Chain A
């Protein structure tokens, strides 16, 4: 049953990707701007422009361009970047680990702190704890990331010298590319110094990126917990003489966590789509910055490749969330 369901969802995924590819392809071409002109800039000669347009296939009809793109795509060829000439797949491949590492770390922080804050404010409903946590959540969700990032750099890097202000490793350091995840790669190479180094580099950007999802998670956890805490089975559990901690963590949280998991999944998907602002402030070499730079240069193939990648990741995360929810909630049955 489960397997058939997964297979079914995966085949739907292909359809979604197909739709996304058409949408992105046409939307990009609706934006005014000639890639050849942007690439060559104000120094371009008309002959050079004509040659480049020919080379990039910009003279063909959109339908023909899309056809070629699709045929190549099915052969696993995402095309080449007009800016660097490198294969798009390679460009994405070298940047995606940075984004994944940052997004996962941010979601970890957001989930741990957000769920904890949510539980506390639900349990201590209408107490000072509750008000403080919810006030912080309000600030967290409305604080401009840009400003927060710069303030954190100023305080923790410039003033207190506690954390490095930019990049993934100290200046000039490098690790051989295995997974591209610095924490994993430093563990694999058994380099303890670089492991601490990479974690220290991760903390400020991950915290900056975590504030908004953290606030959302805290609020969802709180309202979901409040709902559950009034249920009969909680009263029963308490009546059975169970410890309060067990009641909250085993009975209440397990039931309250379903909407929280959905929110975590959605937010992780969003963060994986590249955190442009955080990546910019902390000079983090991830996909978000790459997409924006590519869009500015009308590097069509690069933008298309990235969006397809994002769509695919989002779909996989949704699938993962559905499976986890089914696992946690016996009432949810999956039908193939």
Chain B
């Protein structure tokens, strides 16, 4: 056998092996997926949902006009087939998908879109009082009018040209529900969601389980799984044991130690994605001690983010240098992060004449989040780093409601904070958290109270531009200003993790962790 023949033969063998191996088998229909998670959903009417457990269940049942990609945060069509923006940037026209049915058999059309969206916006709409639209500012705040053009065409008119609208619509907050069901269930619609999604709602036992069933008539192709059971398993070690023993197929929100065990288990899989969040330390730029950018730069140089990620995040994060994560477009990768350098930090502090006797408050979050898994330990670590360069700090702890209140009033020196930019638009982070417009107390979202005119102008220009390249240019520049001025110390972007049984295939994971399970299938 000569060399090339031998290679051919080996190739054939490999292909034969691949065909024979079960992991390459074609998807199997049927089966029940059991999804273990930490808590129960609050409501399945996503327009009212503010918590992750509600959203991950609800998006199996309800759909939007547009949605993020399966594994990315790029916006794709869902119930809208296509869309156009008028030249003045004020009118968004959506061409709707035809032949789609709600789970109750009623047809999906422009009226359904109108009723689903107008109920959030229009105080005179008959469904307005059926819900609490808590996150209006993240969804349709900029929309002034909704107009039905024909049965399958609808227009949204905004108050000003507002490019982030499309990403906002791709969030969970603007789902399209059956008008018949909304009229029937009134304020109980969150317990009986009727949408167009790949799975139909079947039953809900509070604090126990939600059962969903395949929608055979799904417009995007029949889903593979017969049933999804979302099971509340509040105790993380019980959740881990349930995954290990095969009682459940997916276990959410495991701690890093458990994830390490899952990785070692031959029957289990782990997929990881960079998330769309950021954990940071906000520096109150209105405090005399922190007014000088050199002091803020010194603080940035004093903190060793790599050690922080290794110890606190146990490796499940990447260090942050910009105010939003690299999984979102417009990220400025040319920025050189402030390296860990206590010597340089001390030099900057001397230059800025930082008072040696000053003691700064360091506010530690009382709750843990994915972007800040161990707030108190993090605060202690940062306290130690700052002491090393001669900055004395006192850790302040407050109950969460008080914390949010005080911090958004600028009543602190340094505070730990974070953000999950669900809509994956840089605007959400840059304008929302750092512009002069949002730095007004009380209730400032820009808790650093950093007011930079050039930065704010760039954000506003980008909002009015619909050309992505143009917007990117503005955002790249804005990130440079942020870097030089250092109103925050960006710490880390945590990693999204999904742990599941190897019997499951085609398990998706979007950077925001929220996916439809239409394509998922399970070996029997």
Contacts and interface: CB of A to CB of B under 8 A. Distances in A.
B84 interface: no
A94 B206 contact: yes
Interface of A: 32-35, 37-46, 48-49, 52, 55, 83-86, 91, 94-95, 150, 153-154, 157-158, 161, 164-168, 171-172, 174, 280-283, 285-286, 289-290, 293, 298
Contacts of B402: 32-34
A171 B244 contact: no
Contacts of A172: 32, 34, 209, 211, 227, 229
Contact of B234 (A52, A153, A289): A289
Interface string B235-268: 1011001101101000000000000000000000
Contacts, number: 130
B207 interface: yes
A283 B132 contact: no
Nearest to A36: B401
A34 B442 CA distance: 15
A86 B137 CA distance: 24
Given A153-B241, A165-B242, A48 B137 contact: yes
B238 A283 contact: yes
Please classify the interface of chain B as helix (H, G, I), strand (E, B), loop, or mixed, using the class held by over half of its residues: mixed
Contacts of B419: 42
22 contacts: A32-B402, A33-B400, A33-B402, A34-B405, A37-B400, A38-B400, A40-B50, A44-B134, A52-B132, A52-B134, A86-B188, A150-B235, A150-B237, A154-B241, A157-B241, A157-B247, A161-B245, A166-B242, A167-B231, A171-B209, A172-B34, A283-B238
A164 B408 CA distance: 47
Nearest to B228: A172
A314 to B, nearest CB: 23
Contacts of B190: 84-85
B42 interface: yes
B383 interface: no
B443 interface: yes
A334 to B, nearest CB: 41
B34 A171 contact: yes
Contacts of B241: 150, 153-154, 157-158, 165
Interface string B414-431: 000111000000000000
A158 B245 contact: yes
A167 B208 contact: yes
B320 to A, nearest CB: 17
B187 interface: yes
A52 B133 CA distance: 10
B247 A283 contact: no
Contacts of A154: 241
Interface string B483-524: 000000000000000000000000000000000000000000
